[in-house]
Structure 1
Amino acid sequence: MTADVESPVHTVSTPEEEALGAGRSERLSALAQQHGALVTLVVAVIAASLSFDTFLTGDNLENMALSSAFLAVVALGMTFVIVTGGIDLSVGSLFALGGVLAAWGSRYGTVVALLLPLAVCGLIGLVNGLLIARSRLAPFIVTLASMLGARGILLSLTDEGSTTYLVDKDSFFATLGQSTVLGIGAPVWITVALFVLGAVVLRRTRFGQYVYAVGGNEDAAALMGAPVARTKISVYTLSGLCAGFAGALNAAWLVSGVTILGTGMELDAISAVVIGGTLLTGGFGFLSGSLVGVLLLKVIQNVINQIGSLDSAYQQVVSGAFLAVVVIAQTWLGRRRRVL
């Protein structure tokens, strides 16, 4: 009499189940890229609020919001550039130049104070775009040259930085930078409005589709009929306009055109955009992520200031280390999505 031996049961996944699992993993990877910075920001805010009694005070939050607004406007333009697979190193110098031009132009009225930096910085961005798109020069080299050139123009306008142009505190231009609405500074509301408009342009317009297409695969975008050169020119012009406008807003807030500002801002803007989930290789990114990246950098900076015993240089160390972790994570997630 033989005993029945149960044979092991082997489950075989059907192609449909494997495809469903792969699709789920790909969606999770995409969500991690898009919202990972937001989760980190929430955790950082909770940890800071539990560690420091002054972190969630109205004055501290208002200062963080105002200091974030100017970098956020610069990061807005940088997001469009990086989504196309480019880079713009000139924004820090354009930010400082825009502030000086706005302060100088404020003596002739608010319109001049706003239009002059937009015209000059937008023109420099246009030249960047033309050289990159038409002459096919490397964005790194072109924008590095513009960074040095804009800083040179700034120094020549201010007698090597010895002259500081002041804004009349009673002018409407100064009111634009220093007034508050519902207890929140006007520059913050302007920044929010610009991000809403930028998000609509990037996600809901044909131009936004071209931006993603150029960053995803430039040759394929050209074959589909996308205006590759015109799109590149447009995003670099937009980046120059955003940097100039941010500088003008900052001048209205400080009621002066400070010549030493903007140094290293291009790196902060790039860091914020990449931390927010935009791929340096192009083709993937969100403005909401860039805004979160800016806020996260400012929270890190504020926490270091709250500690008090740490030098401000630690903020650069922490930001650099965090950026390296984000880039490594993005690379891993990107490879995982391609495998799936």
Structure 2
Amino acid sequence: MTGSTLPASRVSRLLRGQGALVALVILVALASVLYTGFLSTYNISSFFRYNAMFMLLGIGMTFVIITGGIDLSVGSVAALGSVAAALASPHGALAGILAGVLAGTVVGLLNGVLITRLRVEPFIITLGTFLGARGAAQYFSQRAAVPVDSGGPFAQVGQGDLLGIPVPVLIVAVILAAAGAALHGTRFGRTALSTGDNEDAARLMGLQVDRVKVQVYTLSGLLAGLAGVILAAQFGAGQPTEGVGWELTAIAGVVVGGTLLSGGRGSVFSTMVGIVLLGLIFNILNFENGRGVITIDVFWQNVIRGVFLLAVVLLQTRSMRARPPR
């Protein structure tokens, strides 16, 4: 009896700890059977090329939430980064990339400095920069899309392939590997986790809590700016009106991946699972619409996505409660 219950308990722990991954595998399996072309190279490439922007936002948001914070500005910062990149792109691909990344980094640094110096809740500070970055994007773009050279090297950042792999996916892969190593293998990562777990205790231990907070918000802004660069390159123009609701997608991906909103526990790799899972829902709904049997309006797609998100979060919450204390 002991031999039969031991594997069952291990399976149970696996399912509780990897609920999002299990849901992802099930959805992929079902969709591959139901929809012709779902596993085609074109669909897979297009899916990851577009969702690379949300993956970058999710990586930055993971670090912020791990420290017990929140960053509501990333969608607006991505829009600002896309405008900055488009405006600088005539001077070359490198200028466009640096301009977009710099714009995001400045906003992220501002978030971190204001939060640590003024001791104001991150929700309030990042809500303010959310509005400010959106206004700046509209001002510098004159409320119109800013075109880039569609045939130039800058466009390849969003539209190009290298060895058959979309360039945005390669960018995400490099940053994901670096972020995972930083979170679990450096003092910076350990301090971020300790800060989210118990900030007062972290300060008493002599950890540089404020410095790490500034760093994680700067990182979040930098990656949001990079997402804006990919946005401009992928769609051929800086988009001052894009990015609406992107911060919610990033937060949702982080939560679905299992990172605690209260901080102290999380993984960038799990966040990738959450982002892919949320994106997969829209992808499946588009295939369903293409069959012509039923047509699901975009508004109802959002409702379905929200209900699915709520269900996954509830399951994750139950799994966290079922785990033994650390």
Q: Same fold (TM over 0.5)?
A: yes
Asked if 2 retains the 8 angstrom alpha-carbon contact of 1:83 and 1:284, the reply is yes
Among 249, 272, 276, the residue aligned to 2:230: 249
Task: Give the equivalent residue in structure 1 for 2:251.
Answer: 270
1:154 CA displacement: 0.9
| Paired letter, 1:325 | A
Report whether the alignment pairs 1:289 with 2:275.
Answer: no
Task: Give the equivalent residue in structure 1 for 2:134.
Answer: 151
Unaligned 5+ runs, structure 1: 1-20
Task: Determine the C-alpha separation between the residues in 2 that align with 1:317 and 1:204.
Answer: 39
Asked if 2 retains the 8 angstrom alpha-carbon contact of 1:97 and 1:151, the reply is yes
1:256 CA displacement: 1.1
1:338 CA displacement: 5.1
Among 314, 320, 325, the residue aligned to 1:328: 314
Among 77, 85, 94, the residue aligned to 1:111: 94
Counting only pairs closer than 5 Å after superposition, residues 54-203 of structure 1 correspond to structure 2 as 54-159=37-142, 161=143, 163-203=144-184
Among 214, 219, 235, the residue aligned to 1:238: 219
Q: Note the alpha carbon deviations across 1:310-330, whole angstroms, 9 max, x for none.
A: 112233222222222233233
Asked if 2 retains the 8 angstrom alpha-carbon contact of 1:34 and 1:276, the reply is no
Among 9, 34, 40, the residue aligned to 1:51: 34
Unaligned 5+ runs, structure 2: 1-5, 290-294
Range moving further from structure 2, 205-214 or 169-178: 169-178
Asked if 1 retains the 8 angstrom alpha-carbon contact of 2:19 and 2:315, the reply is no
Tell me the secondary structure at the aligned position of residue 261 of structure 1.
Answer: coil
Larger Rg: 1
Tell me the secondary structure at the aligned position of residue 146 of structure 2.
Answer: coil
Asked if 1 retains the 8 angstrom alpha-carbon contact of 2:15 and 2:22, the reply is no
Asked if 2 retains the 8 angstrom alpha-carbon contact of 1:274 and 1:326, the reply is no
Report whether the alignment pairs 1:317 with 2:307.
Answer: no
Asked if 2 retains the 8 angstrom alpha-carbon contact of 1:26 and 1:337, the reply is no
1:140 CA displacement: 0.8
Asked if 1 retains the 8 angstrom alpha-carbon contact of 2:32 and 2:39, the reply is yes
Give the CA RMSD over aligned residues: 2.0
Task: Give the equivalent residue in structure 2 for 1:221.
Answer: 202
Tell me the secondary structure at the aligned position of residue 157 of structure 1.
Answer: helix
Task: Determine the C-alpha separation between the residues in 2 that align with 1:173 and 1:158.
Answer: 18
Task: Give the equivalent residue in structure 1 for 2:292.
Answer: none
1:135 CA displacement: 1.3
User: Identity over the aligned pairs, expressed in percent?
Assistant: 43
With normalisation by structure 1, the TM-score equals 0.88
The count of corresponding residues between Structure 1 and Structure 2 is 315
| Paired letter, 2:127 | L
Q: Note the alpha carbon deviations across 1:17-40, whole angstroms, 9 max, x for none.
A: xxxx9xx979965x4454211111
1:254 CA displacement: 1.7
Task: Determine the C-alpha separation between the residues in 1 that align with 2:286 and 2:275.
Answer: 17
| Paired letter, 1:285 | G
With normalisation by structure 2, the TM-score equals 0.91
Asked if 2 retains the 8 angstrom alpha-carbon contact of 1:33 and 1:277, the reply is no
